[in-house]
Amino acid sequence: MEINRLEGIIESILFTMGDSVELSKIALAIGHDEDTTRRIIHCMMDKINGAEERGVKIIELEDSFQMCTKAESYEYLIRIAKQPRKYTLTDVQLETLSIIAYKQPVTKLEIEKIRGVKSDHAVNRLVEYNLVCEVGRMNVPGKPILFGTTEEFLRRFGIQSLDDLPSMNPEQIENFKTEAEEEAQLKLDI
């Protein structure tokens, strides 16, 4: 029963690490290629995620996997632990986060140019919530920080990769451009 032994090893790795673990590292640990390892993990996911009596599940985040608690168990967990701090994103933070998600890597100046107002507070909060992080520096004078989304962003929004973000249809984009131009014209007329 080699497959059962490998599943047990992978389960131990995911449980112990807590955070997501790259497929390549899991494959190296069990001594198999990435395709075989991915198939084993997907079989595990089918068994574990589909079993109603299990309190955990395995999720895939780009080329990484993580074991986490099923949402149905949350109310029981808070009976044991202090109620976890739940962050509520304001409209400003959601707007800033969506700009970062779709335009990344992006600087604060670029975000502010799109929003039309300062965005320091919103960006700092998103960094604090671990939804965005510094992904580098732009190679221009002043070397401004470039921001991008984190794995926690993927986890919180229930997507595997940025490719899963909804795309806007061209009609919506044109409507937004028209509205922005009309608003700019109104400000000029005042």
* Confidence at residue 133, expressed as pLDDT on a 0 to 100 scale: 96
- For the chain, what percent of residues have pLDDT higher than 90? 48
CA separation for the pair 37, 30 (Å, rounded): 8
| Whether 64 contacts 23, CB under 8 Å | yes
Q: Is the pLDDT of residue 148 over 90?
A: yes
Residue 134 CA to residue 104 CA, distance in Å, equals 11
The pLDDT value given to residue 187: 63
pLDDT in tens, 93-125: 999 999 999 999 999 999 998 888 899 999 999
CA distance 109 to 77: 41
- For residue 190, the model assigns a pLDDT of 60
Residue 92 contacts residue 128 (beta carbons within 8 Å): no
- Residue 184: the pLDDT is 67
Per-residue tokens: 35: 């395709």
**pLDDT score recorded for residue 82:** 67
* Global pTM exceeds 0.75: no
CB of 108 closer than 8 Å to CB of 123: yes
Structural domains present in the chain: 2-80 (1.10.10.10), 91-189 (1.10.10.10)
Confidence of residue 88 (pLDDT cuts 50, 70, 90): confident
Cβ–Cβ under 8 Å, residues 125 and 108: no
User: Which letter does DSSP use for residue 147 in this model?
Assistant: E
Three-state DSSP class for residue 14: helix
Question: Would you state the structure tokens that stand for residue 75, as one six-digit string?
Answer: 């109310």
pLDDT digits (tens, 9 = 90+) for 37-62: 999 999 999 888 877 788 889 999 98
Enter the DSSP assignment of 150: -
Q: Which tokens go with 185?
A: 């014209």
pLDDT for 92 equals: 92
- Per-residue pLDDT, 3: 86
State the DSSP code for 154. Answer: H
Alpha carbon distance 62, 33 (integer Å) = 17
- SS3 category, 51: coil
pLDDT value at 175 more than 80: no
pLDDT band for position 85 (cuts 50, 70, 90): low
At 83 the pLDDT is 58
Helix (H, G, I), strand (E, B) or coil at 174: helix
Higher pLDDT, 149 or 180: 149
